[in-house]
Amino acid sequence: MTKWVYTFGNGKAEGRADMKNLLGGKGANLAEMSNLGIAVPAGFTITTEVCTYYYDNGKTYPKELVDQVVTALAEVEESMGAGFGRADNPLLVSVRSGARASMPGMMDTVLNLGLNDATVQGLIERSGDARFAYDSYRRFIQMYSDVVLGVDHYHFEEILEAHKEDKGYTLDTELGADDWKQLVVLFKARVQEELGEPFPEDPEAQLWGAVGAVFGSWMNQRAITYRRLHEIPAAWGTAVTVQAMVFGNMGEDCATGVCFSRDPSTGENVFYGEYLVNAQGEDVVAGIRTPQQISIAGKEKNQSTLPSMEEVMPGLYKELVETRDKLEAHYSDMQDMEFTIQGGKLWMLQTRNGKRTAPAALRIAVDMAKQGIITTDEAILRIEPEALDQLLHPMLDPKAERTVLTRGLPASPGAASGAVVFNAKTAEDKAKNGQAVILVRIETSPEDIGGMHAARGILTTRGGMTSHAAVVARGMGRPCVAGAGEVRVDYKAGTLTVGSTVVKEGDWVTLDGANGEVMLGEVPTIQPELTGDFGALMEWADAKRTMKVRTNAETPEDAETARRFGCEGIGLCRTEHMFFDAKRIINMRRMILAQDEAGRRAALADLLPYQREDFISLFRIMVGLPVTIRLLDPPLHEFLPHTDAEIADVAKAAGVEPEQVRHRASVLAESNPMLGHRGCRLGITYPEIYEMQARAIFEAAIAVSKDEGAEPPLPEIMIPLVATKRELDMLKAVIDATAKAVFAEQGTTVEYIVGTMIELPRAALRGGAIAETAHFFSFGTNDLTQTTLGMSRDDSGPFLEVYRAKGVYERDPFASLDVEGVGELVQIAAERGRATRPDLKLGICGEHGGDPHSIAFCQSVGLDYVSCSPYRVPIARLAAAQAALTQAAK
């Protein structure tokens, strides 16, 4: 016979904590507490399987259910020494829902069930308080009518208000026993009027009505929506827990409260909670009365004048502390608990793992590992890597009010407020004067770099998670909201508009780069600190991971930030980003727009010293660590001059007429630049560019190798956008020849290796052949995603939103690797490459290198390292440790 009902109470239970699927979270934990010998009011749980049966069988119950409930109820009666429906000593129960995953407030609850005109007399006798008994009775009628009978609350509010007016009362507390008694009669009359039948007096009928209502509420609109948002399958169903009522509002020796075994906002190992004497649970939550602190320490910390439980009920407080210690040790996690004290006896009503902020999660995990409650491996696995983000960037004060104007993509985390400006130059000027600004652009381009750096945050209306703005902002650690499609920017008028709201240049806005919100005005931020706990967790994580973590960086600032965050080298130095600076971009443009090789060489000669200096500083910052330098890969549209002024500047620098420059720019313009003349194609057509860059690298490496006592740099020269072995062979020949020339000139040598990015499907498939030349592969999954999915990384934002909403791709494939498709290409390339060259070094440097989900995949295919933007380095370190631990456990 199927067991549909599980009892608990009196120091024993038929269920256990690990039976959540069957008993729901609440039912399983009540059973567990009972088994632990903690006083919980006796009760029973009707399983989730009954819910499934109910919906599969035309809303009927399995035939054995009634008998099983009757037997369970008899046990509860015995435990509690009271009888369900017995007039002299009535047992009252609560009927609550409880799914596998917590769904707070989504489903229905009925309290005080079992009351009728006869049993209320018993309650008066037992409590010695007629007012309390009639108040409980009328609350029950109200709740039951609303939840089970469908008679709305307002009917009863109306009657109550009329009664108060009649009697000249303003507060509910002014009503006495007789008032509530009269109201009970009026409430029941209203139910009769509305339904054409009386309110059920029979406790058994009440019970089955409530059970049906709770199962019914599994399919209410609120619950359906909540399940959709939290990916909870409808098939899980809810359990129903029927439990003896205990009352915190039966006098001065009664109380009720909620508490956490540690502080849920800071994680501090202090018992934290609130309680109220002579009150019901809902009074604590609803804020009708000011709750009091449970401990003296909490009272002092909150500067409360109200007495703490520790002072008012010292014996019971001690018992509560013992329960807290027992439960926390048993669950090995911070607990969120509810309790009630009735007539001087403590009852626990609920316990569950408590929700907590990111700083609290970190502190709790580290403290618990140090206390030996959990292992360091468990501590590593307990922290959501993404949550570390909150610890690394300033964040909005969670207590502050926000007026959300619109939303975009959460492109770079952190929060920032400032005055709106619409161009980079203004941003720089204002920032120089100490003003906080937010740079708003339709999209950004390399000449905006100074302004982006000067701004506190960046907002764009176009572009996705790998757009220029997003990548650069993440690299700099600037908060960025990208692709906010509702925003209309009018550069001429100096306004941005969302619907009917107009924000003018100089008006303040706030960005939350962690959730993509754009808010009006200034929302205060708080500066998180990297505490010792952070360092401890990172140390444990580093000891467990097998993949290295490098960074994507090209400026000394970024490289230093990444080293502070523990990177183990540079996995991608995008050399074209080194030319964004105003002084350099002019020579870069000169080079691109030159009519012939001589013109290009002249411009390149001017760029060489900058390159060399940049590489020298990167090598010095990364001393002893590998530095992967990618040769030029500029999508040309990012570098062509647009305005007349820009064209005039380039013409002047090159000593030619503006018309010539304009003409050349129009010749070079491409209609599909992402698939155009970029990457190694530039090196194949103009080898002198890569020759100059290789020279700069070798000269810099030699210079740094002469530093006193320094380990020699480890340059890894990387060729972008390779499709064929032939391309790589030709370009490696240019690099090797340059090395030879520089080494001869300088009379010394340095070690270096040459490898390639794998960012085209053809290169992945031909990994076996390409590895004959390449010493390493670095997966450029931004382009590999773009070219595998056939979706432009710059333009796909708007329709990808729809794709995700409709479930075509579960996640944004530019943020989290499409493991099925792009992942298979990565795997093929890795296998074929290693078959040719067993010691082939494998890494990833697309944006996915900082995404925990993608990092787990990288572990599974055996990559040697991941590389990500500086602020994601700690996240990647933790995610890599988790991936290694999970893999080892398999």
CB of 452 to ligand PEP, least distance (A): 17
CB of 214 to Mg ion, least distance (A): 55
Residues that contact ligand PEP, how many (by CB under 6 A): 10
Does residue 38 contact residue 326 with C-beta atoms inside 8 Å? yes
Site residues, Mg ion (CB under 5 A) = 759, 780, 783
Can you tell me the distance from the alpha carbon of 872 to that of 562, in angstroms, rounded to the nearest whole number? 9
DSSP element (H, E) containing 877:
helix 873-889
Residue 755 structure tokens: 């490898």
CB of 562 to Mg ion, least distance (A): 19
Asked whether position 788 contacts ligand PEP by CB under 6 A, the answer is no
- Whichever of 68 and 782 has its CB closer to ligand PEP, that residue is 782
Q: Which of 438, 448, 425 is nearest to 512 (CA)?
A: 438
- Whichever of 155 and 793 has its CB closer to ligand PEP, that residue is 793
Distances (CA, A) of 820 to 271, 364, 547, 811, 813: 47, 36, 22, 12, 11
Does residue 212 contact residue 219 with C-beta atoms inside 8 Å? no
Q: Catalytic residue, from 155, 393, 453, 468: name it.
A: 468
| Paired strand residues for 272 | 260
CB of 559 to ligand PEP, least distance (A): 17
Q: Which of 782, 797, 790, 791 is nearest to 848 (CA)?
A: 782
Mutual angle of helices 644-654 and 658-668, in 10-degree steps: 110
CB of 759 to ligand PEP, least distance (A): 5
DSSP 65-96: HHHHHHHHHHHHHHHHT-EET-SSSEE-EEEE
Structure-token match 């709750």, residue found: 291
Does residue 482 contact residue 470 with C-beta atoms inside 8 Å? yes
Stretch that binds ligand PEP, among 239-247, 272-280, 385-393, 778-786 (CB under 6 A): 778-786
- Whichever of 336 and 554 has its CB closer to ligand PEP, that residue is 554
Does residue 632 contact residue 693 with C-beta atoms inside 8 Å? yes
CB of 574 to ligand PEP, least distance (A): 5
Asked whether position 572 contacts ligand PEP by CB under 6 A, the answer is yes
CB of 97 to ligand PEP, least distance (A): 47
Interaction mask 757-776, ligand PEP, x per CB under 6 A? --x-----------------
Asked whether position 389 contacts ligand PEP by CB under 6 A, the answer is no
Can you tell me the distance from the alpha carbon of 733 to that of 758, in angstroms, rounded to the nearest whole number? 19
Residue 769 structure tokens: 């052949």
Q: Catalytic residue, from 573, 680, 845, 868: name it.
A: 845
Can you tell me the distance from the alpha carbon of 495 to that of 421, in angstroms, rounded to the nearest whole number? 9
Stretch that binds ligand PEP, among 96-104, 259-267, 689-697, 779-787 (CB under 6 A): 779-787
CB of 880 to Mg ion, least distance (A): 22
- Whichever of 750 and 764 has its CB closer to Mg ion, that residue is 764
CA 854 to chain centre: 15
Which of residues 155, 574, 612, 637 is near ligand PEP by CB under 6 A? 574
Can you tell me the distance from the alpha carbon of 82 to that of 84, in angstroms, rounded to the nearest whole number? 7
The verdict on whether 845 is a catalytic residue reads yes
| Paired strand residues for 437 | 419
Q: Count of CB atoms within 10 A of residue 484's CB?
A: 25
What, of Mg ion, ligand PEP, none, does residue 574 touch, CB below 5 to 8 Å by kind?
ligand PEP
Which of residues 41, 477, 713, 780 is near ligand PEP by CB under 6 A? 780
Residue 504 structure tokens: 């003018």
What, of ligand PEP, Mg ion, none, does residue 781 touch, CB below 5 to 8 Å by kind?
ligand PEP
What, of Mg ion, ligand PEP, none, does residue 386 touch, CB below 5 to 8 Å by kind?
none
Which of residues 15, 237, 846, 850 is near ligand PEP by CB under 6 A? 846
- Whichever of 299 and 678 has its CB closer to ligand PEP, that residue is 678
Residue 447 structure tokens: 């000449």
Asked whether position 783 contacts ligand PEP by CB under 6 A, the answer is yes
Asked whether position 464 contacts ligand PEP by CB under 6 A, the answer is no
What, of ligand PEP, Mg ion, none, does residue 135 touch, CB below 5 to 8 Å by kind?
none
DSSP 752-809: -EEEEEE-SHHHHHTHHHHTTT-SEEEE-HHHHHHHHHT--TTT-HHHHHHHHHTTSS
Does residue 858 contact residue 461 with C-beta atoms inside 8 Å? no
What, of Mg ion, ligand PEP, none, does residue 446 touch, CB below 5 to 8 Å by kind?
none
Q: Find the binding residues for ligand PEP in span 619-648 (CB under 6 A).
A: 633
Does residue 728 contact residue 773 with C-beta atoms inside 8 Å? yes
- Whichever of 310 and 759 has its CB closer to Mg ion, that residue is 759
The verdict on whether 573 is a catalytic residue reads no
CB of 633 to ligand PEP, least distance (A): 6
Which of residues 781, 787, 796, 816 is near ligand PEP by CB under 6 A? 781
Note the residues at the interface with ligand PEP (CB under 6 A): 572, 574, 633, 759, 780-783, 845-846
Give the active site residues: 468, 845
